[in-house]
Each structure stands twice: as C-alpha cells, then as structure tokens.
C-alpha cells in the first residue's frame, strides 16, 4: 500500500551512545505529534537492537543500511537478513549508490539481497539512480530501467508490492545540488510507468517512491508536493532532530 515515508540514512556516522541519543531525541520530539508520513531511521548495524528497544517502533521504524546476500555460513563480517530481523528492525536499505560504487554490488547480488529480506519479513528500501555522466548523456531513464528490471522484475506482483523504491540521482547526493522538483517528478513518474508496464496500474499506484539526494528542510515541501514523490531518503539532514523534523513536517 502506498505510503508517505521520510527515512533517514545515517550512513557511517554516530557511535552507539550518540545514535541512541539521536533516536531518543527524535522519539521525544514526535510524541503527541501528528505526522502525515511514516518515519524510518537507517542506523549502523551496531545500533539496531539498542535503538529498536529504546524507541516507540510503532512511531519510528528502524532500518539496517544493508544486508548480506547470503543466508548464513562462512562469510566473515557479513550481517544476514535474519540477523537484522531479530533486532526488531523492520526495514533494510538495499542498493544504495555507495554500495554499488564502492563495493561493486551488481544487480545479481542485489536481487539475492531483496529476496532474502522479503523472506525474513523485512521491507526493502531499494535504491536506484544515475551518475552525472549518465544523465548528461541522456541515459538516465535507461539506467534506472535496467536497475529495476535486472534486480526486481523477477518478483511476483505480491512481493513487488512489499517494496519501497528510492530514486537517488547520484550527482545530487552529498553535493548540495538537488534535482529540481520537475526533474524529480519526471523520473518518479517514469518509474511508476515502468512498474505499471510490468505489474499493472494497481501495483504501480500502490508503490511508494522516495526521493534521495540533498533533500532538506528548505526544499522538502516543494519536492514532496509532486504527485509521484512519496517522501524522501535523507542523508546528512537526518543526523540532527532540528534538521530532520522539518522534513517530516513537510507533508
């Protein structure tokens, strides 16, 4: 079912005490606070269980930032979907551009991660998006189509309906450059059209598609006003309650 969601991605930031303080501060700020969106925080693996126990998870969902593409076994340093689910987390970010670029995660790997996340009742927040050279070459639609098709279109319509997608123009992540509201809407509408072509209008219209890429308190309202933009995947601005709360309130 299509929802408005504002999700924070803390990336490689905060020690456990710092993360707990941030999560508890957000939890306190949202008490008695009516919101028009679901709120999710994507924390480091080390924080998941502690934060899930410390906050009201009916108000704030907890996400891992990644998961292994293996169920279990001799994969030193990896964290499985089952492990994540056991912490109380309900979401997992999969396919973030940094994972694709720095750790060479392919669509084949990401497909396995999505399937394992779904098998353990986690909601994947699946990231897609083009780099600057691809946009300048007018290949952005082709790139996004391939990322969706290669990793997700083997899913049944029922399983696809359990996903959240996040469009992140890579050229706008951490650069201070944001896609215009028109650029965001154009791509989100294309993504929804692509889903409709595979699974039909009902599934497409029920799919939540977030925007990720230098979204902040100043531009969130304009971005979220687009009919096909259902919220944001927020990086740096999620690391402080005073910066994150206005984005949540932008709906």
Catalytically annotated residues: 96, 168
CA distance 2 to 118: 17
Q: Which residue has the tokens 């497909």?
A: 111
With beta carbons less than 8 A apart as the criterion, state whether 247 and 237 touch.
yes
How far the first Cα of the chain sits from its last, in Å, is: 18
CA distance 132 to 111: 25
Helices (H) and strands (E) in the chain, counts: 12, 8
What dihedral do alpha carbons 33, 34, 37, 42 form, nearest 10°? 20
Residue 227 CB partners (closer than 8 Å, separation 6+): 185, 189
Q: Which residue has the tokens 């991660």?
A: 113
- Phi–psi pair at 66, nearest 5 degrees: -175, 165
With beta carbons less than 8 A apart as the criterion, state whether 135 and 102 touch.
no
∠ at Cα 205 (96, 215), nearest 5°?
Answer: 40
Strands (E), 95-198: 123-128, 164-167
Closest Cα partner for 6 from 244, 243, 199?
A: 244
């Amino acid at each position: 079912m299509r929802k408005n969601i504002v999700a924070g991605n803390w990336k490689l930031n905060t020690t456990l005490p710092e993360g707990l303080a941030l999560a508890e501060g957000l939890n306190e700020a949202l008490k008695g606070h009516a919101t028009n969106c679901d709120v999710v925080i994507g924390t480091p693996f080390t924080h998941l269980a502690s934060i899930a126990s410390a906050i009201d998870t009916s108000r704030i969902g907890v996400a891992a930032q990644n998961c292994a593409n293996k169920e279990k076994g001799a994969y030193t340093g990896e964290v499985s979907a089952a492990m994540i689910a056991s912490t109380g987390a309900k979401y997992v970010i999969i396919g973030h551009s940094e994972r694709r670029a720095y750790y060479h995660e392919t669509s084949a790997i990401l497909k396995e991660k999505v399937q394992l996340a779904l098998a353990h009742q986690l909601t994947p927040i699946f990231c897609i998006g083009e780099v600057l050279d691809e946009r300048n070459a007018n290949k952005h639609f082709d790139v996004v189509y391939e990322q969706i098709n290669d990793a997700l279109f083997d899913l049944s319509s029922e399983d696809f309906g359990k996903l959240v997608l996040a469009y992140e123009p890579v050229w706008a992540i951490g650069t201070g450059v944001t896609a215009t509201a028109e650029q965001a809407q154009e791509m989100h509408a294309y993504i929804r059209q692509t889903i409709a072509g595979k699974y039909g209008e009902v599934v497409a219209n029920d799919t939540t598609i977030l925007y990720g890429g230098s979204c902040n308190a100043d531009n969130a309202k304009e971005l979220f006003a687009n009919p096909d933009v259902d919220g944001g995947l927020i990086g740096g601005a999620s690391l402080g309650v005073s910066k994150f709360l206005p984005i949540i309130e932008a709906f």
